[in-house]
Structure 1
Amino acid sequence: MVTLTRPEGTESDDLTLSRRAVLIAAGYAAFDVGANAEPVKTPEDGLISGWETLPGGLPAFVARPAGKGKHAAVIVVNEIFGVHEWIKDVCRRFAKAGYVAIAPEFFFRGDPDKTLAKLTDFTAIRAIVAKAGNEQVMGDVKTTLDWLGTQKFVHAKKVAITGFCWGGAVTWMAAARFPELKAGGAWYGRLKGDPGTEGRKWPMEVVADLKAPVLGLYGALDKGIPVADVEAMQAKLKGSKSSIMLYKDADHGFLADYRPSYNAAAGTDAWDRLLAHFKASGV
Structure 2
Amino acid sequence: MDDAFISRDSLTVPPLSRRGFVMTSLMSGLTLATTRVEAQAIRTDAAGIEAGEVKVPAADGPMPAYRAVPEGAGPFPVVLVVEEIFGVHDYIKDICRRLAKAGYCAVAPELYARQGDLSTMTDAQTIVREVISKTPDAQWIADLDAAAAWAVSAAKGDGARLAVMGWCRGGRAAWLYDAHRHDLKAAVAWYGQLGGERTPIQPRTAGDVVTEINAPLLALYGGADAGIPVAMVEEARDRAKAAGKSVELVIYPEAPHGFHADYRPSYRKAAAEDGWNRALAFLKAHGV
When normalised by structure 2's length, the TM-score is: 0.83
How many Å separate the matches in 2 of 1:136 and 1:53? 17
Partner AA of 1:174 in structure 2: Y
TM-score normalised according to structure 1 size: 0.85
Residue 92 of structure 1 corresponds to which residue in structure 2?
97
Alpha-carbon separation, structure 2, partners of 1:193 and 1:124: 17
Q: Which sits farther off after the overlay, 139-148 or 157-166?
A: 139-148
2:14 corresponds to? none
The offset of 1:39, in angstroms, is 4.2
1:11-68 residue CA offsets vs partner (Å, 9 max, x unmatched): xxxxxxxxxxxxxx95212333335644431011111111111113221100011122
Q: Is residue 2:111 matched to residue 1:106?
A: yes
Give the gaps of 5 or more residues in structure 1. Answer: 1-24
Q: Partners of 2:110 and 2:262 in 1: how far apart?
A: 21
Aligned to 2:277: 272
The offset of 1:146, in angstroms, is: 1.7
* Equivalent-residue separation in structure 1 for 2:38 and 2:90 (angstroms): 17
Equivalent residue for 1:217, pick from 217, 220, 226:
220
| Offset of residue 178 of structure 1 | 0.6
Q: Which residue of 2 aligns with 1:202?
A: 205
Identity across aligned pairs (percent)? 40
Instruction: State the partner residue of 1:181.
Output: 184
Residue of structure 2 in register with 1:42 after alignment:
44
How far apart, CA to CA, are the structure 1 residues paired with 2:134 and 2:264? 26
Unmatched 5+ stretches in structure 2: 1-26
Aligned match of 2:253: 248
Instruction: Say which structure is richer in helix.
Output: 1
In structure 2, do the counterparts of structure 1 residues 63 and 248 end up closer, same or farther at CA, with 3 Å as the change threshold? same
Deviation at 1:118, TM superposition (A): 4.2
Distance change in 2, residues 1:99/1:160 (3 Å)? same
Equivalent positions of 1:50-61 (< 5 A) are 50-56=52-58, 57-61=62-66
Give the count of matched residue pairs.
255
The residue type equivalent to 1:149 in the other structure is: V
**Contact persistence 2:37–2:263 (CA under 8 A):** no
Displacement after TM superposition at 1:128 (Å): 1.6
- How much does 1:81 deviate? 0.4
* RMSD (Å), alpha carbons: 1.8
1:121 counterpart (109, 120, 123): 123
The residue aligned with 1:190 is: 193
Following the alignment from structure 1 to structure 2, what is the Cα–Cα distance between the partners of residues 206 and 170?
11
Give 1:106-185 correspondences, 5 Å limit: 106-111=111-116, 114=117, 116-126=118-128, 127-151=130-154, 153-185=156-188
Distance (whole Å) between structure 2 residues aligned to residue 121 and residue 264 of structure 1: 25
CA distance in 2, matches of 1:179, 1:75: 15
Q: Which amino acid aligns with 1:204?
A: G
Distance 1:85 1:227 in 2: 30
